[in-house]
Amino acid sequence: MTPPEKPGAVRQPVYLDYAATTPVDPAVAERMAACLTWDGNFANPASRSHLYGWQAEEAVETARQQVADLIGADPREIVWTSGATEADNLALKGAWDARRHGGKNGGHLIVSAIEHKAVLDTAKWLADRGVEVTFLEPDSAGRVRPGALESALREDTFLVSIMHVNNELGSINDIGALGALCRDRGILFHVDAAQSAGKLPLSVTDQYVDLMSLSAHKMYGPKGVGALYVRRYPDVRIESQIHGGGHERGMRSGTLPTHQCVGMGEAAALAAERLEADTARIAQLRDKLWQGIRDLPGIQVNSDLEHTVCGHLNLAFSGCDGEMLLLSLRQIAVATGSACTSASLEPSYVLKAIGLSNDLAQSSLRISLGRLTTEEEVAFATQHIREVVTKLGRKSA
C-alpha cells in the first residue's frame, strides 16, 4: 500500500488517527478474501480429516510464522487471540492462574500507571482477588525508567507489565533494559506491543520479553484478531481463560478465523518489509507538521519527540477549550486521547499521570500519522490547525 496520488484535492476530513486504527492494506484484504468463499480457503483449520482442513491449517501456520518473524520468535510461541485486549487479559490472568494452581496465592504485580485500560482494568480485577498491585508512575515524558522499576521489584513479584509504546503519547519505553531487570530476578515480563509492532524493531529474545501482546488492526491488518507471544524456553506457564476445544496448545480455545489470521500474517510480513522506509517517511511528515504549528501561542508537545514513535504527536493548546477545539477542527480526524476511553468526559489519565493540569489535559489532542498520510494532507492539516487555534485565541482574548 502506497500513499495515493492527490495532485489537487485532499480527502476531507484528513485522517490523522492512525493510533486508533489503520485501514486494511489492499494486499491484506486480497489475501483475506481468498479465505472466505466456496472457491477459497474456507475450511476449519482444526478439521484434520480432509484436504480442505489441511489447506486452512497450512494457511494459518504460514501466518503464525509471519507474525513470529516480526518479533523474532518461534511460531510455536504465537497464540492467536481476538486482539491485544484479549492477549493482555490472557497474559495477566493466565500467569496469575498458573501461579495459583502451582500453590502460590496472592503475589505482587507491577504495571505502569499509563498502561492501556486492558492492562489497568485487568490489574484492578486481580487486585480484587488478593494480588498486590503497584502502579508505577512514569516520568514527565511518559516513560518508565529502569531505576523506578528496580526500586519497585520485590521477592514476591511474579509479573511486570510495561507497554512498549504508549497509545496516547507515543512515548517509547526501553523494554530491553526493563526486561533485563526482570530476567535477572526470574520475574515474568509482559509487553503490550500493540502500538510498536511494525513501527519499531522487535526481538523478544534480545529484549528479554516473556509475554507480548500484538494487534493486527494497528498495523494495517483486520480488526478482531491479535496474538500473544508466550516464551517456550525456559517454559512460561499460563492458564487458558477461554475453554472449549483445547485449541492453541490448550491456551485459547475457539475455531480459528482463517481469514483474519491470514490477514494478520500478511500485515506482519508487509510491516517487516516496510519498517525502515515507513518509519522514516512518517517521522519526516510528523516533524514537518510540528514545525508548521510550533510557533502557535500556548502550544506544547506532551512527550519527548526524540523518544516518541514516528507517527505520534500529542499536543496541548493552553488557553483553548478542548471540546471547542475538537469541534472546530472538523476538517481533520484527530483524537483527544485513547479511542478506548473516548466515552469518558474526564481528562486523560495518561496526561494527568505525567503532570498535566486538568485544563491542559482537556485542551490536548492526539494527532497520529500513518502509511497513507501524504505531504498534501500534512500541509492542509497545518493550515487548518493554525486557522482554528488563531481564531479560538481571538475569541478568548
pLDDT at site 171: 98
Question: Cβ neighbours of residue 231 under 8 Å, at least 6 residues apart?
Answer: 77, 204, 209, 210, 211
The burial class, CB within 10 Å (0-12 / 13-18 / 19+), for 66 is: buried
Which cell is 131 given?
Answer: 494480588
pLDDT at 345 over 80: no
Quote the cell numbers at residue 58.
497450512
Residue 7 has pLDDT above 70, yes or no: no
Q: What percent of the chain has pLDDT over 70?
A: 94
Q: Determine whether 102 is exposed, middle or buried from the number of CB atoms within 10 Å of its CB (0-12, 13-18, 19+).
A: exposed
Can you state the angle between helices 375-396 and 258-293, rounded to 10 degrees?
A: 60
- Contact assessment for residue 267 and residue 220, using Cβ atoms and an 8 Å cutoff: yes
Residue in 35, 261, 310, 340 annotated catalytic:
340
Mean pLDDT of the chain: 94
pLDDT at 90: 98
Please report, in angstroms and rounded to a whole number, the separation of the first and last CA atoms in the chain. 45
Euclidean distance between CA atoms 68 and 66, whole angstroms = 5
pLDDT > 60? residue 338: no
Give the contacts of 307 (CB within 8 A, at least 6 positions apart). 141, 143, 171, 172
**Contact status, residue 82 vs residue 225, Cβ threshold 8 Å:** yes
The alpha carbon of residue 180 and the mean position of all alpha carbons in its chain are separated, in whole angstroms, by 22
| pLDDT 10s digits, 206-242 | 999 999 999 999 999 999 999 999 999 989 999 999 9
Confidence of residue 324 (pLDDT cuts 50, 70, 90): confident
- Residue type for 262, please? V
Contact 111, 323 (CB under 8 A): no
Strand partners, 301: 315
Residue 343 burial (CB count, 10 A): 6
340 is catalytic: yes
Q: Residue 172's closest CA among 279, 23, 52?
A: 279
Reported as a single tens digit per residue, the pLDDT across 193-210 is 999 999 999 999 999 999
- Which residues are CB-neighbours of 363 under 8 A, at least 6 positions away? 316, 317, 318, 319, 320, 321, 322, 325
Q: Are 170 and 314 in contact (CB under 8 A)?
A: yes
Which positions ≥6 away from 214 have C-beta within 8 Å?
Answer: 67, 71, 84, 87, 193, 194, 197, 226, 227, 228, 229
